[in-house]
Amino acid sequence: MSADEREDVESFRQRARTWIRANLRALEPGEDIEPNLKPTNLTQEEELAVVTHERQLQRQLFDAGFAGLCFPTRYGGQGLTPDHQRAFNAEIGGYEYPARIQAPTFSPCASVLLEFGTEEQKLAHIPAILKGEEIWMQLLSEPSSGSDVAAALTSAVQEGDEWVLNGSKIWTTGAWWSDWGICLARTNWDVPKHRGLSVFILPIHQPGVAVHRIEMLNGLKEFCQEFLTDVRVPDSDRIGEVDAGWTVGTRWMFHERMLYNSPFITVSPGKTQGGGGVSMVDVAREAGRLDDSYVRDLVGEARMLELVGKALQRRVGEGIMTGKMVDQSAALGRLFAGASITRIATIAFDIAGATGAAWTGDEGAPADCGTTFLMRQASSIGGGTTEMARNVISERVLKMPREPSLDRDRAFRDVPRAGSTRS
């Protein structure tokens, strides 16, 4: 769509505001619909009902012309600009929207499809994603490789016009209620690890795919592990060239690091990677420590970290979109988010005092700060570890010398590893 054909941002904003207020439910004070790392008291059936409701909300957005604002019109999108998406995000604050199906369905999954998929793949899946008919997950991390995504052991062996996948993926949030996955697999063991990977898409619920939910220490059961046993994938469901999956993977991880800076994501204002969390002022007030000068300093530190995080994400997002910053600069936001969220969880625990260690259900904001403290490192692991973000910043943004790697020019088949399954 040309600039002359597009609706101007302010007219769009007014139209979006009118539609949102007329069609979406206003949130109750303190109501949180954002994805986070806290368990709910919902049964499995109740949680599936929530997912169904979010699919319906996504369809509402699509029917009203507010889904896929920056996706091309030929795939069901609106062909608008990131400024239009930001305007819509600003207006949706305080109203319900399909929060849990934005990431990773729209970014990185749909973003990768849009960038690397064939025309047939885009036409088959992107409209279905925009309508809420398909929820996607990324089958990326593996139990054996940690942050070293390129060391994937999940194998894909070609048999005629099909590929047979075997292996396991882990830490896939919401896989048990999702439809499709984008999967990184090894197709060549006789070249260095980065050169023998390919990317495939596949339905999650099919013979040969077993999805197991993982219970975290706080009771959360959204993380899953998938076991793939002789899963057949047609070659038409391959993304990119054979053995060139790292080219796709590099951009895949860029979209993952962009996350809530992505122009493809609908998200309420102020949302940052890793989640917001409880108000430090509320914790201090309800713990009876708001007049403590040390506690007030901690509250100020937490607020400062939140403000800097939002400003940094804005700057990185705008810098990448305008070409002033290399796309790998997305790791800056990822690193700051991991470090700051960990620190904020620690601050909340310190302010909560004894209530952070033992609480009852009616103790308000200080309750559960202890569990959040124990889970704090998740923000430095999920979405790519902060250690990997540091490497990306130093090597690809600052252009510092790469650290030595003993497996860089070695066939992956010959790289020593414990408990591996070779193909």
pLDDT given at position 20: 98
Which residue has better confidence, 37 or 392?
A: 392
Please give the CATH topology (third level) of the domain spanning 138-252: Butyryl-CoA Dehydrogenase, subunit A; domain 2 (2.40.110)
Percent of the chain with pLDDT over 70: 94
What mean pLDDT do residues 111-140 have? 97
pLDDT of residue 275: 42
Predicted local confidence at residue 422, as pLDDT: 47
SS3 assignment for the chain: CCCCCCCCHHHHHHHHHHHHHHHCCECCCCCCCCCCCCCCCCCHHHHHHHHHHHHHHHHHHHHCCCCCCCCCHHHCCCCCCHHHHHHHHHHHCCECCCHHHCCCHHHHHHHHHHHHCCHHHHHHHHHHHHCCCCCEEEECCCCCCCCCHHHCCCEEEEECCEEEEEEEEECCCCHHHCCEEEEEEECCCCCCHHHCEEEEEEECCCCCEEEEECCCCCCCCCCEEEEEEEEEEEHHHEECCCCEHHHHHHHHHHHHHHHHHCCCCCCCCCCCCCCCCCCHHHHHHHCCCCCCHHHHHHHHHHHHHHHHHHHHHHHHHHHHHCCCCCHHHHHHHHHHHHHHHHHHHHHHHHHHHHHHCCCCCCCCCCCCHHHHHHCHHHHHCCCCCHHHHHHHHHHHHCCCCCCCCCCCCCCHHHCCCCCCCCC
Tokens encoding 97: 């929207």
Instruction: Say which residues have a Cβ less than 8 Å from residue 229's Cβ, sequence separation at least 6.
Output: 166, 208, 209, 210
Confidence (pLDDT) at 241: 97
Q: What's the CATH number for 20-102+117-134? A: 1.10.540
Report the range of poorest mean pLDDT among 93-107, 227-241, 374-388: 374-388
| Least confident range of 2-16, 267-281, 287-301, 362-376 | 267-281
Q: What is the mean pLDDT of residues 44-53?
A: 94
The total number of residues written for the chain in this structure:
423
Mean pLDDT of 364-378: 85
Least confident of 14-23, 115-124, 211-220, 243-252: 211-220
Average pLDDT over residues 173-179: 94
Q: Which residue has the higher pLDDT, 273 or 198?
A: 198
CATH topology of domain 272-397: Butyryl-CoA Dehydrogenase, subunit A; domain 3 (1.20.140)
Instruction: Identify whether the C-beta of residue 336 lies closer than 8 Å to the C-beta of residue 310.
Output: no
CB 357, CB 296: distance < 8 Å: no
Region of residue 225 (phi > 0: left; psi between -120 and 50: alpha; otherwise: beta): beta
Residue 83 has pLDDT above 50, yes or no: yes
Confidence of residue 2 (pLDDT cuts 50, 70, 90): low
Q: What is the pLDDT of residue 274?
A: 44
Domain positions in the chain: 20-102+117-134, 138-252, 272-397
pTM, 2 dp: 0.86
